[in-house]
Chains A and B, each alone.
Chain A
Amino acid sequence: MESSGMELYVKILITGGSFLLPQRLAAALAGAHDVVLTARSELDEDAPGHRFLRSDLGHDDATNELVRGMDVIVHSGESDEDATESERLDVAMRCTYNLLMAAAAERVPCFIYLGSLGILGKYDEDMTITERWRPVPTTDISDVCYHLGEFVCREFGRERKASVVCLRLGDLVWDGVESGEANSSALYFDDAVQAVEKALSAGEHGAGPAARSQALGKPGWNIFHIQSSVPKARFATGAAETHLGYSPAARS
């Protein structure tokens, strides 16, 4: 990780390259960072501004080679709606485990898991849901996959084998959608990018892992709820604002 001058320049691996959010994240971060996008399938289109490497995220040297030298891994918890339940579970659990094992072996200092606020969706809308609330996923396979991916990450954080930041993201809203049309869990793309940028740079302008832990709040495992500042916003983002400096754009 290099911090010459004002800007932090890091090597970032982003998984889930066949999905829209990782693709857009890679494009958004590529100008300021060295970004590699990976997916378990080949991508049809070129990826301007960043490299693409296909990977099965398997239990082999290829995964270690993929993560070697990275400063940050941004791991998407999204699963392929066209895949079977079994395939989706396999990616959510085993591939996340493989990636974390490789990250631990290669001493990648920062691992960001992109989870979902959907695993808290069963709570009433009028409750103030913070990171202290227990996840209550449904058995919808997408919910289950986000939750189990997070579960694997948590154990690596617990054992300090990786420094994991779990960003539970709201319902993504893409360009052209007015805030009045978005739901109470909405997360606009530019706010999502900001949250990832804040997470990958937390504390690193200081003195390494200790400074990072201090900035994030705890060593090993930290959860932050990330959504946009929409009317009647459902999830509290105070922890992300305090520890990451997350500052979602005001939307009326």
Chain B
Amino acid sequence: MNVLILGANGMLGPFVVNALEADHTLRLTDVNDFEDSRHEYFKLDVSDLDAVVDAAEGMDAIVNLSVLRPHRQIAFDVNARGAYNAMEAAVRHSIPRVINTGPHFTIAGPTYEDLDYRIGPDAPSASGTYLYALTKSLGQEISSVFTENHDVHVLTLLFYNFRDPGDHSTDGQDVIPYAVSWEDAGRAFGLALTVGLDTLPSRCEIFYIFTDLPHEKFSNEKAKRILGWQPQDRLEHLWRKGSR
């Protein structure tokens, strides 16, 4: 599969590339320069519609890893308009599959997270007004609107707290109940790229990607059931006292 990755040089990008490169031909893009001679690379700004459309030519799937958190103008440019541009590019090139990404509060903002447990990814969006959450939620809404009007599928993988299983500096201090290892996160992309589109409940599906945790604050059941994703790094040393 020919796969365009937007935002390939962010924090998560290298882990996604590692997970996909054996099975797919990758075209990497990022707003920054980076040295990766193994794959085709375009420097582009995801907020540039024409550039994204051009970069998507000949692709079978688009993986959108682009993200910007604190700067208001750029957060809207990247998180919301970037999602629009990815979807527009998919439609123009008849690319059937887009993998979108974001934080868990793209859906579950404070009105869920502050109150509820076993929160699943299919709840109605309630991001709240926090800039990062709302701009990613807008991007998700844009993606959803495209899938309702065009023959394109969006699989959105939502993350929050990435952890290195080898880091024991905070052992036994508990963990954000939405954590995953970088490697497990990367593996979810391989599954999202290969799951049969005709097996999905709809053209727009959201998955919570975090490891099995005892808190039961959120639920990763859907990712296991539909994608077949199974976390390999339990991160138990972070939340069990005996690990100190």
A252 CB within 8 Å of chain B: no
- Residues in A neighbouring B134, C-beta threshold 8 A: 97, 152, 155
Chain A CB within 8 A of B175 CB: no
Instruction: Tell me the minimal C-beta distance from A133 to chain B in angstroms.
Output: 14
Which residue of B has the minimal Cβ distance to A144?
B145
Question: Which residues of A from 35 to 60 have beta carbons under 8 Å from B?
Answer: 59
Contact B145 A155 (CB under 8 A): no
Q: How far is the CA of A144 from the CA of B117 in the complex (A)?
A: 33
| CA distance in complex: A59, B72 (Å) | 7
Contacting residues of chain A (84-103) with chain B, CB-CB under 8 angstroms: 84-86, 89-90, 93-94, 97-98, 100-101
Instruction: Please provide the chain B residues from 126 to 166 with a CB less than 8 Å away from any CB of chain A in the complex.
Output: 126-129, 131, 134-135, 137-138, 141-142, 145-146, 148-150
**Given that A93-B76, A151-B141 are known contacts, is A139 also in contact with B149, CB under 8 Å in the complex?**
yes
The answer to whether A147 and B129 have CB atoms under 8 Å apart is: no
Total contacts A-B at CB 8 Å: 70
Q: Nearest residue in A to B75 (C-beta to C-beta)?
A: A94
Let me know if B49 and A136 touch, CB within 8 A.
no
Q: Is A156 an interface residue (CB 8 A)?
A: yes
> How distant is the Cα of A39 from the Cα of B207 in the complex, in angstroms?
41
Mark contacts of B23-50 with chain A using CB atoms, 8 A cut-off: 1 yes-contact digit, 0 otherwise.
0000000000000000000000001010
Chain A residues in 8 Å Cβ range of B148: 136
Contact code string B66-102 (vs A, CB < 8 Å = 1, else 0): 0000001100110011001000100100000000000
Give the docked Cα–Cα distance between A87 and B71 (Å).
18
Chain B interface helix/strand/loop/mixed = helix
B111 CB-CB contact with A under 8 Å: yes
Chain B residue at minimum C-beta to C-beta distance from A98: B72
A152–B138 contact, CB under 8 A? yes
Determine whether the beta carbon of B141 is less than 8 Å from that of A86: no
Residues of A with C-beta under 8 A to B84 = 85, 89, 144
Q: Is the CB of B76 within 8 A of A155?
A: no
Bound together, the chains give a CA A158 to CA B135 distance in angstroms of: 16
Judging by beta carbons under 8 Å apart, are A139 and B80 in contact? no
Q: For residue B72, which residue of chain A has the nearest CB?
A: A59
Question: In the bound complex, do residue B141 and residue A148 qualify as a contact, i.e. CB atoms below 8 Å apart?
Answer: yes
Q: Which residue of A lies closest to B146 (CB)?
A: A139
The answer to the question of A11 belonging to the interface, with a C-beta cut-off of 8 Å to chain B, is no
Q: Is the CB of A147 within 8 A of B81?
A: no
B76 and A85: CB pair below 8 A? Answer: no
Contacts of B88 in A (CB 8 A): 85
Closest residue of chain B to A85 (Cβ to Cβ) is B49
Q: B81–A89 contact, CB under 8 A?
A: yes
What are 13 pairs between A and B in contact, CB < 8 Å?
A86-B81, A89-B80, A90-B81, A93-B80, A93-B81, A93-B135, A101-B129, A137-B145, A147-B145, A148-B80, A151-B141, A155-B127, A155-B129
